[in-house]
Amino acid sequence: MRGCRENGSGTEKLVEAFHRITDEIKNEHLSRLFKEIKDRKGLLDKFFLFPASVGVHHVSIGGLLEHSVTVAEIARNAASFMGGDPDIIVSGSLLHDIGKIEEIAFDGGSFGYSDRGRLLGHITLGIMMLEDLVSAVEGFPGDLADVLKHIILSHHGEAEWGSPKKPMCIEALVVHYIDNLDAKVMGVKEHMSNSMEDERWTQFHKLYESRFYKIPQG
């Protein structure tokens, strides 16, 4: 188990942003899906509390919420330039990592992987959770459910990165690339916070296979 730092972005503001974003969803079925999520207090409490990963990016209390909200905000803006259904893009952004609340075991001070997390992974767990949520929303269209599942299945982009499917619609492409960008930038920021070799250069980052240069401020 690893220690978990506090989220510097302010969890309360992120919770407000989550509710604002979901309240703006116009699609009736997606709006009802998020109402179902909000009605499940245990699920939402975990989503607001958990880190987004054990050691790669957003390794902080509230990190999953921070990452999901950031991806949703950026992806919605990207959709205004690139196209795609903004409600599906926002929903997919907020749901793409939902399986992590089952993948990660968190006791309030330290975190690691649950047995289910090691055995199934957050993508499989996310699909299972989404199927359960959708089944509770009367009349939820099967094709819309399939698109949301596809976004979860494809958000890592490549099989070598853990994706069972490549993104095959505009909405899935937008979520994948914004997710990847936010995860990598935050991963580098956290590396800069913890692993500076001197004032300008980080130590070698094994996952990203590089050192990173911190531009002097002022």
Does CATH number 1.10.3210 belong to domain 2-194? yes
Domain regions of the chain by residue span: 2-194
Task: Give CA–CA dist 140/127, Å, rounded.
Answer: 15
Highest mean pLDDT among 26-30, 47-51, 212-216: 26-30
Task: Give CA–CA dist 98/145, Å, rounded.
Answer: 15
pLDDT in tens, 142-170: 999 999 999 999 988 766 656 788 999 99
Q: Give the confidence band of 1 by pLDDT, cuts at 50, 70, 90.
A: very low
Q: Cα–chain-centroid distance for residue 180? A: 10
Among 53-62, 69-78, 184-193, 203-212, the least confident range: 53-62
H-only helix segments in 83-141: 86-95, 100-103, 115-135
- Phi/psi for 137 (5° steps) reads -105, 105
* Contact by Cβ (8 Å): 45, 53: no
Per-residue confidence (pLDDT) for residue 2, from 0 to 100: 46
Per-residue confidence (pLDDT) for residue 4, from 0 to 100: 46
- Residue 217 per-residue DSSP state: P
- Which residue from 76, 87, 73 is spatially nearest to 28, judged by alpha carbons? 87
Stated pTM of the model: 0.87
2 or 44, which is more confident: 44
- Residue 215 per-residue DSSP state: P
Positive or negative, the CA dihedral 28, 181, 158, 55 is negative
Task: Give CA–CA dist 134/34, Å, rounded.
Answer: 10
Among 1-10, 100-109, 124-133, 160-169, the least confident range: 1-10
